[in-house]
C-alpha cells in the first residue's frame, strides 16, 4: 500500500519550517525550529525530535514515504549542502544522508529557492507557467529558475545562484560567500537593515529609526517606519527596489521568463518594494521584453511554498 504522507523541510538562514504533506498537497501539520545551532548533529537531532511529534500525529513513521528538503546551497545531485554562506555549518554537509539515517526513510534535497519555485509552480501563482524566475528575499537572496517547466540545475546542481551575482563591482559590500557586491548584500532583509544604518551613520537626517540602537535595526523596523512616512525608510526601499529592479532586467535577458515572482519576508512590503522594482526593471529591459514580463508576489504562505515544493521531491523517492 502506498504510504500516504511525505515530509517537506524548508531550511532558511534563520528558521527551519517543516510539515507533513499528503498526496493532494495539503500541509497536514507543521512546525519550525531555529537554524542557528552551530552543531549540525545537534540540529538534526532537534529537527527529528520536533518532526517526530508531527509524525506520531499521522500514525507513525510507517506512514511516511520520504523526506524532501529545500536548503541553502542544497545540491540535488549529491544530497549535500555545500559551502552555504548563511548557515552556521561550513564546508560540505551530507544532509540528505543524515536525514535518511536519522528518520529511517529516503531523503532528497534541493536548493531552498528551487523548492519554493516548485511549490509555486504546483500550487501558487505560477501554476500553469513554464518559464519563470522565483526570487526569495529573506536572510539572503535565493532564486529558482524554471525553463520549459523544469528547474534549471546545471551540470553540477548549483545553477541559479542569482543572489550571488555581483551588482556592485567596485567597493561593494562584503558578502558571506567571501566576495563583494553580491545582490543579496543589498536586497535581502539584512541588506535593507544595513542600508538604513549606513544612511543614518553618514548624516543627521531626522528619522524615527534613530530611536532604535543602530546595530539593532531590522528590516521590519524600516518597514514600520516607511509605513509611517519616514523619509529615510522610504529612501531605503527606493534604493533597494532600484538595485533589485536593475538586476531583474539582466536576469530577463538570459531566460525570457513570463514572470518573476517575489517571495519571502521582504516581499511582504507590498508597493514599497514593488513600485521601485517594476519601474527600474522596465527602464532597463531590452525593448523586446518591455511590458511583457510580470512581477508578482507569491500567493503561498512563506513556509508553505518551500515546504510543499520540498515535499514534492519525496514523492519521487
What's the pLDDT band for 316 if we cut at 50, 70, 90? Answer: confident
- Decide if 124 is inside a domain: no
Q: Please indicate, yes or no, whether residues 147 and 54 belong to a single structural domain of this protein.
A: no
Q: Exposed, middle or buried: residue 245 (CB in 10 Å: 0-12, 13-18, 19+)?
A: buried
Q: Look at residue 42 and tell me if it is in a domain.
A: yes
> Is residue 30 in a domain?
yes
For the entire predicted model, the pTM comes to 0.85
Whether 146 and 44 map to the same domain: the answer is: no
pLDDT band at 24 (very low <50, low <70, confident <90, very high): confident
* Number of domains within the chain: 2
The band of 264, judged by pLDDT with boundaries at 50, 70 and 90, is: confident
Task: Kindly state whether residue 229 falls inside one of the protein's structural domains.
Answer: yes
Q: Are 151 and 115 in the same domain?
A: no
Contact 273, 267 (CB under 8 A): yes
108-135 confidence digits (pLDDT tens): 999 888 988 988 888 889 999 999 999 9
Confidence of residue 303 (pLDDT cuts 50, 70, 90): low
Give the dihedral sign, CA 198/202/207/209: positive
Please compute the mean of the pLDDT values over residues 243-256 and round it to a whole number: 97
50 domain-assigned? yes
Residue 60: CATH number of its domain: 3.30.420.40
pLDDT at 12: 84
Mean of pLDDT values over 279-305: 92
Are 44 and 145 found together in one domain? no
Q: Does residue 302 carry a pLDDT above 70?
A: no
Residues 310 and 251 both lie in one domain: no
Is residue 85 located within the same domain as residue 108?
yes
Q: Is the pLDDT of residue 2 over 80?
A: no
Residue 125 lies in a domain: no
Burial class (CB within 10 angstroms; exposed 0-12, middle 13-18, buried 19+) of 170: exposed
Position 1 scores a pLDDT of 57
- Shared domain for 256 and 310, answered yes or no, is no
Q: Which residues pair with 133 in a beta bridge?
A: 145, 260
Mean of all residue pLDDT scores within the chain: 94
Instruction: Please indicate, yes or no, whether residues 293 and 308 belong to a single structural domain of this protein.
Output: no
3-class DSSP assignment, residue 105: coil
Note whether residue 29 is domain-resident: yes
What is the pLDDT averaged over residues 86-107? 96
Question: 144 with 251, same domain?
Answer: yes
Question: Has residue 266 been placed in a domain?
Answer: yes
Q: Is the domain of 262 the same as that of 185? A: yes
The verdict on 226 and 197 lying in the same domain is: yes
pLDDT at res. 239: 98
- Domain span including residue 162: 130-299
Q: Is the pLDDT of residue 56 over 90?
A: yes
Query: In which band, very low, low, confident or very high, does the pLDDT at 177 lie, cut at 50, 70 and 90?
Result: confident
**Are 108 and 160 found together in one domain?**
no
Amino acid at each position: 500500500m502506498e504510504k500516504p504522507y511525505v515530509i517537506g523541510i524548508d531550511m532558511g538562514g534563520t528558521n527551519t519550517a517543516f510539515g507533513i504533506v499528503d498526496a493532494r498537497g495539503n500541509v497536514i501539520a507543521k512546525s519550525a525550529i531555529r537554524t542557528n545551532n552551530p552543531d549540525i548533529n545537534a540540529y538534526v537531532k532537534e529537527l527529528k525530535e520536533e518532526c517526530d511529534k508531527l509524525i506520531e500525529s499521522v500514525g507513525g513513521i510507517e506512514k511516511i514515504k520520504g523526506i524532501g528538503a529545500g536548503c541553502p546551497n542544497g545540491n540535488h545531485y549529491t544530497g549535500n549542502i555545500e559551502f552555504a554562506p548563511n548557515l552556521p555549518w561550513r564546508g560540505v554537509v551530507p544532509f540528505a544522508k543524515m536525514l535518511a539515517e536519522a528518520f529511517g526513510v529516503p531523503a532528497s534535497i534541493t536548493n531552498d529557492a528551487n523548492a519554493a519555485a516548485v511549490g509555486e509552480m504546483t500550487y501558487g501563482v505560477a501554476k500553469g507557467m513554464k518559464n519563470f524566475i522565483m526570487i526569495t528575499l529573506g536572510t539572503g537572496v535565493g532564486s529558482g529558475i524554471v525553463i520549459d517547466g523544469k528547474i534549471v540545475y546545471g551540470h553540477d546542481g548549483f545553477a541559479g545562484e542569482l543572489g550571488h551575482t555581483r551588482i556592485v563591482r567596485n567597493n561593494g559590500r562584503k558578502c558571506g560567500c567571501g566576495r563583494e557586491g553580491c545582490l543579496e548584500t543589498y536586497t535581502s532583509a539584512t541588506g535593507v537593515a544595513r542600508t538604513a544604518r549606513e544612511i543614518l551613520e553618514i548624516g543627521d537626517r531626522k528619522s524615527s529609526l534613530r530611536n532604535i540602537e543602530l546595530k539593532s535595526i531590522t528590516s521590519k523596523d524600516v518597514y514600520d517606519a516607511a509605513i509611517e512616512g519616514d523619509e529615510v525608510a522610504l529612501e531605503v526601499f527606493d534604493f533597494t527596489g532600484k538595485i533589485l529592479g536593475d538586476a531583474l532586467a539582466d536576469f530577463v535577458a538570459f531566460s525570457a521568463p513570463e514572470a518573476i515572482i517575489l517571495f519571502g519576508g521582504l516581499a511582504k512590503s507590498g508597493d514599497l518594494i514593488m513600485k521601485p522594482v517594476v519601474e527600474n526593471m522596465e527602464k532597463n529591459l531590452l525593448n523586446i521584453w518591455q511590458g511583457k514580463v510580470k512581477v508578482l508576489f507569491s500567493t503561498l504562505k512563506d513556509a508553505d511554498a518551500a515546504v510543499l515544493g520540498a515535499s514534492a521531491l519525496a514523492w519521487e523517492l
